[in-house]
Amino acid sequence: MDLFPLTFPAIDPVLVEIGPLAIRWYGLAYVVGILAGWRYAVYLARLYGGRPNSDDVESVVLWATFGIILGGRLGYVLFYELDSYLQDPSRILAVWHGGMSFHGGLLGVTAGIVICAWRREIPLLKLADAVAPVVPIGLFFGRLANFINGELWGRVSDVPWAMVFPGAGDLPRHPSQLYEAFLEGLVLFAILAVLAHRPSVRVRHGVITGVFLLGYGLSRITAELFRMPDPQLGFLYGGLTMGQLLSLPMVLLGILLVLWGQYRASREPQTKTVGQGKNEISVVSNRAR
């Protein structure tokens, strides 16, 4: 064990107080993540040209924001502390006390994408592919906020960068929030950004979404190996955590979507994309099917 572990930096979870109003780092992370994701999605829409356009993106961001908040909160209640909230249902509305689930938020965002795709008559997977690359931006800021709050800390460790978190005893632990910020945020964003800028990938609807689901699922399963399980749940089936169990279906669905996108592309006439953005055109060649 490291004789001189790092000490968690004493950062006040409240960024600033204006009278009775308290602006917290966690809330700020949501706002910054949504705004940054929105701007990047608009940039991609203008780069691609066609549908979804910037108006479509602004609509889906609005629906997705509601999905993040409602789905994230209800997901946490259902997946992590159902018995506790059933004893006092009024606590469900107290989102300022914390308690959000990524997997619940993802379901909420999915519902928002489905509604927007239906209302605006855009192919579902095509719209999902436009949204997927921006999600890691929000994840990155959210995990940094988890670190600032000193929550969701890791398991006991003797690695040189292990640190003692407030409320977690005197033993140094993995800063697992930063691991997740790196894997779910930076690495996944870099992969999706590269794919999103490749016309040959964009025409294979569902591939980018599939890579996101696969990448997030594997990142979360890996990060959970260093993160303490939720105390009210502990380890579940086969020593897995709730986060790992909820991520396994994402991995499977991601693989299926990638294969489906590849299969659909192989069954359609071969296209060659010429140009970029609004000047982008597709030249179709007739080949045996």
Burial class (CB in 10 A: 0-12, 13-18, 19+), 235: exposed
Residues 6+ apart with CB under 8 A from 262: 204, 207
What does the alpha-carbon distance between residue 28 and residue 17 come to, in Å, rounded to a whole number?
13
DSSP string, 18-42: ETTEEEEHHHHHHHHHHHHHHHHHH
Residue 79 clears pLDDT 70, i.e. is over it: yes
User: How would DSSP label each residue in the chain?
Assistant: --SSPEEPP---SEEEEETTEEEEHHHHHHHHHHHHHHHHHHHHHHHH-SSS-HHHHHHHHHHHHHHHHHHHHHHHHHHH-HHHHHH-GGGGG-GGG----HHHHHHHHHHHHHHHHHHHT--HHHHHHHHGGGHHHHHHHHHHHHHHHT-S-B-B--STT-EEPTTS-SS-B--HHHHHIIIIIIIHHHHHHHHHT-HHHHTSTTHHHHHHHHHHHHHHHHHTTTBPPPTTT-S-GGG--HHHHHHHHHHHHHHHHHHHHHHHHHHSPEEEEESSGGG-EEEEE----
Cα separation, 120 vs 277, whole angstroms: 21
pLDDT over 50 at 25, yes or no = yes
Question: What CA–CA distances, in Å, run from 241 to 30, 73, 235?
Answer: 25, 19, 5
Token pair recorded at residue 275 = 């140009």
Residue 20, CA atoms < 13 Å, CB-side half-sphere: 0
Give the mean model confidence (pLDDT) for residues 255-280: 72
What average pLDDT does the segment 119-145 reach? Answer: 93
Task: Look at residue 42 in the predicted model and tell me its pLDDT.
Answer: 92
Q: Which of 104, 286, 282 is nearest to 204 (CA)?
A: 282
Nearest CA among 186, 219, 48, 235 for reference residue 126: 48
Instruction: Classify residue 5 as left (phi > 0), alpha (psi -120 to 50) or beta.
Output: beta
User: Higher-confidence residue: 219 or 286?
Assistant: 219
User: So what's the pLDDT on residue 288?
Assistant: 40
Q: 280 pLDDT band (50/70/90 cuts)?
A: low
Out of 2-16, 108-122, 135-149, least confident range: 2-16
Look at residue 26 and tell me whether its pLDDT is greater than 50.
yes
Q: What is the pTM of this model?
A: 0.85
Mean pLDDT of all residues in 77-91: 81
| pLDDT on residue 225 | 95
- Min mean pLDDT across 32-41, 169-178, 270-279 is at 270-279
The residues, ordered by sequence, that sit 6+ positions from 278 with a Cβ below 8 Å of its Cβ are: 49
Residue-wise pLDDT for 200-239, tens only, equals 898 899 999 999 999 999 999 999 999 999 877 788 888 8
Query: Do residues 177 and 256 touch, judged by C-beta distance below 8 A?
Result: no
